[in-house]
């Protein structure tokens, strides 16, 4: 038995998603841009998937652009804001995914934008009053704030941020990669211009995602070479990925409240077990506060008796898969933990849970950690 507690990095493909994808690998393999029957079958399937996603999110099909994942969607939103809307000032947080931060750093270094960061406290809570001040001081800005952090799980109030942005005439982009399929997003009410999502974070396939772009907001073409995605995203569509994305989101929405209750119980169990069996444990950011954090993520700060890399190896040797943070930053010190002033000399481990995990797996993991620390203390 292997225990997988790294669901923030990627999730297990749902069997129903696999079944939905299979016909488009073996039977309906036409190019959606072809005008014969095989092509029409593929094109109709993509249109159906786009409608499914839009209906679930209370958006319009023409607001959904399929991408290779969250990174491309983030890049497309940011670059479109700067190049199509002449945005010269961008406000973000120091906790964003590198798909956002690195893109903004390139634009800043090229002299295309001025970059500002929202102030935070040592738990990662954002100063919304300061955001409003920044928007008053800078005409026509883009605000890019993720819905939930992929390392410490902090939930940001994108409803409030959207209202602030709208009141100041700013564009608002949110990376919802960690929350899509885990929370309901009502795009008819949310004051937001762009959201980015990736299928493999909610039991869909890797290599596919989407960008939501609100009607009336102009997008720039990121990739050139073809007229796919209404001339917004050149390249033959990943049809089976798109089918899998829509099916995964449909499954997620079918019991999203039940999954939240179930997974939150697993997370609460892990918190209690670590506190009881390891003792000197702290939790980074808001990850241990249910109402302020993503229910799938727990970032634990464990005693310094063992190097983090060695601790991860120890757990791996006992058939437990966890991580020290973002899979995109393996081997480097977490910029998120640095930004909140966390003690990075301690063993900081991210446990992330899914509907496929069990209470027995939580208990086994806590027992192995307890045994290790007891042995080190002996």
Q: Annotated catalytic sites, by residue?
A: 328
Separation of alpha carbons 61 and 67, rounded Å = 14
Q: What's 299's DSSP letter?
A: E
Instruction: Quote the longest CA-to-CA distance of the chain.
Output: 73
List CB contacts of 247: < 8 A, sequence separation 6 or more.
14, 16, 17, 20, 21, 204
Element (H, E) at 352: strand 347-352
Cβ–Cβ under 8 Å, residues 170 and 141: yes
User: Exposure string (b/e) for 69-106, b if CB count within 10 Å is 16 or more?
Assistant: bbbbbbbbbbbbbbbebebebbbbbebbbebbbebbee
Separation of alpha carbons 237 and 28, rounded Å = 13
Count of beta carbons in the 10 Å neighbourhood of residue 172: 26
Coil vs helix vs strand at 121: coil
Q: What length does the chain have?
A: 378
Give Cα 312 to chain centroid, integer Å: 23
Q: Name the residue among 149, 131, 201, 105 with its Cα closest to residue 337.
A: 149
Separation of alpha carbons 374 and 378, rounded Å = 6
Give Cα 316 to chain centroid, integer Å: 24
Coil vs helix vs strand at 338: helix
Count of beta carbons in the 10 Å neighbourhood of residue 205: 21
Strands in 164-296 per DSSP E: 171-175, 194-198, 209-213, 282-283
Separation of alpha carbons 77 and 185, rounded Å = 18
């Amino acid at each position: 038995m292997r225990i997988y507690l790294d669901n923030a990095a990627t999730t297990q493909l749902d069997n129903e998603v696999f079944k939905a994808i299979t016909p488009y690998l073996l039977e309906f393999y036409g190019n959606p841009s072809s005008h014969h029957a095989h092509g029409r079958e593929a094109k109709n399937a993509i249109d159906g998937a786009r409608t499914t996603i839009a209906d679930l999110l209370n958006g319009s099909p023409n607001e959904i652009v399929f991408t290779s994942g969250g990174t491309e969607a983030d890049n497309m939103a940011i670059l479109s804001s700067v190049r199509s809307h002449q945005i010269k000032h961008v406000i973000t947080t120091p906790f964003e995914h590198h798909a956002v931060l690195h893109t903004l750093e390139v634009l800043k270094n090229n002299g295309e934008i001025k970059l500002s960061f929202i102030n935070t406290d040592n738990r990662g809570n954002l100063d919304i009053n300061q955001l409003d001040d920044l928007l008053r001081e800078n005409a026509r800005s883009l605000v890019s704030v993720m819905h939930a952090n992929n390392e410490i799980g902090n939930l940001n109030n994108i409803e409030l941020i959207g209202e602030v942005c709208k009141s100041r005439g700013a564009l608002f982009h949110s990376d919802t990669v960690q929350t899509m399929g885990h929370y309901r997003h009502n795009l008819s009410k949310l004051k937001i211009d762009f959201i980015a999502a990736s299928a493999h974070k909610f039991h869909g396939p890797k290599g596919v995602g989407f960008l939501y772009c609100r009607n009336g907001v102009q997008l720039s073409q990121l990739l050139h070479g073809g007229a796919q995605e209404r001339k917004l995203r050149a390249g033959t569509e990943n049809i089976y990925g798109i089918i899998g994305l829509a099916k995964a989101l449909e499954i997620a929405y079918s019991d999203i409240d039940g999954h939240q209750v179930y997974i939150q119980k697993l997370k609460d169990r892990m918190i209690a077990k670590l506190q009881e069996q390891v003792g000197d444990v702290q939790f980074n950011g808001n990850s241990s506060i249910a109402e302020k954090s993503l229910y799938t993520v727990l970032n634990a700060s464990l005693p310094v008796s063992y190097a983090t890399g060695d601790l991860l190896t120890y757990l791996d040797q006992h058939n437990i898969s966890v991580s020290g943070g973002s899979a995109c930053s393996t081997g480097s010190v977490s910029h998120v933990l640095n930004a909140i002033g966390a003690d990075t000399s301690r063993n900081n481990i991210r446990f992330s849970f899914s509907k496929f995990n069990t209470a027995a797996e939580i208990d086994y993991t806590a027992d192995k950690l307890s045994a290790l620390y007891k042995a080190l203390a002996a």
